[in-house]
Structure formats: structure tokens, C-alpha cells
């Protein structure tokens, strides 16, 4: 029989287990659990495939590896992912926004100047 929390404890040991960094007693305990627990064997296999490869990659990757990958994704996705987060101007180029503001201000001034050239509404 396995205790209810033993799956959790086993899962927490997966990383050290895969890396071969688990203490012999811990390792034996995990082996014992895995021998009786199909669920955790499947989890461990999944863990090995995904995290195991990432771990091997991380050991040989330079320090700026993650930043480099993110920058590459950013380029290939044309800025949709991992871009600098301008919350208000996310997708709109700032130049276009500035141009729109200038045009809006020009229109506003032209309208105001034409309806009231002196800034004072003519009395009757």
C-alpha cells in the first residue's frame, strides 16, 4: 500500500532522481514506490522526457541562452511574443500614434480658429 502523500513526495524527488543526486535512502524509497505505483512511473517517464532534456540543455547553455531564445521567438513572431510590454501601445507603432495625435490637434485648432478667430464668440 502507498500513503496518500507518497505520490506527492515521489514527484518532488523526480528532479534529483533524474539528475542522480538523490541520497541512497531516498532513492531506494522512490524506487520502492515506483515499483508499486503505475501512476508515478508514468509521471516520472513524462518528467524524464521533458524536464530531463531541458536540464541537459541548461547545463551546456550559456547564461544568456533563455534571453536569446526569447529574442528569437520575438523576432520570428514579429513581436507578438516576449516583446517589450508597452501596455497601451502594444501593437500600434508609436510613430503612427504620434501622427494621429498631431493630426487631431491640427484639426481641432483649425476648427476652433475658423469658428472663433479671436477666441471670443462674436456677440449679436
Total of chain residues touching Zn ion, rule CB under 5 A: 4
**Binding window for Zn ion (CB under 5 A); candidates: 4-12, 71-79, 97-105, 110-118:** 4-12
Task: Let me know: does 74 contact 81? Beta carbons within 8 Å.
Answer: yes
Residue tagged 472663433 (cell numbers):
116
**Binding window for Zn ion (CB under 5 A); candidates: 5-13, 18-26, 78-86, 109-117:** 5-13
Task: Let me know: does 1 contact 32? Beta carbons within 8 Å.
Answer: no
Q: Is residue 7 at the binding interface for Zn ion, with CB under 5 A as the rule?
A: yes
Q: Is residue 11 at the binding interface for Zn ion, with CB under 5 A as the rule?
A: no
Q: Is residue 51 at the binding interface for Zn ion, with CB under 5 A as the rule?
A: no
Cβ of residue 21: shortest distance to Zn ion, in angstroms?
Answer: 20
Q: Is residue 41 at the binding interface for Zn ion, with CB under 5 A as the rule?
A: no
Q: Is residue 37 at the binding interface for Zn ion, with CB under 5 A as the rule?
A: yes
32/64 with CB nearer Zn ion: 32
Q: Is residue 40 at the binding interface for Zn ion, with CB under 5 A as the rule?
A: yes
Q: Which residues form the interface with Zn ion (CB under 5 A)?
A: 7, 37, 39-40
Amino acid at each position: 500500500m502507498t500513503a496518500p502523500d507518497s505520490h506527492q513526495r515521489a514527484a518532488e524527488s523526480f528532479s534529483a532522481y533524474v539528475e542522480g543526486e538523490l541520497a541512497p535512502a531516498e532513492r531506494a524509497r522512490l524506487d520502492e514506490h515506483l515499483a508499486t505505483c503505475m501512476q508515478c512511473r508514468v509521471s516520472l517517464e513524462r518528467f524524464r522526457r521533458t524536464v530531463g532534456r531541458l536540464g541537459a540543455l541548461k547545463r551546456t547553455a550559456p547564461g544568456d541562452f533563455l534571453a536569446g531564445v526569447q529574442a528569437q521567438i520575438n523576432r520570428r513572431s514579429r513581436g507578438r511574443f516576449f516583446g517589450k510590454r508597452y501596455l497601451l501601445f502594444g501593437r500600434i507603432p508609436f510613430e503612427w500614434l504620434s501622427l494621429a495625435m498631431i493630426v487631431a490637434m491640427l484639426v481641432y485648432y483649425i476648427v476652433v480658429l475658423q469658428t472663433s478667430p479671436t477666441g471670443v464668440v462674436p456677440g449679436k
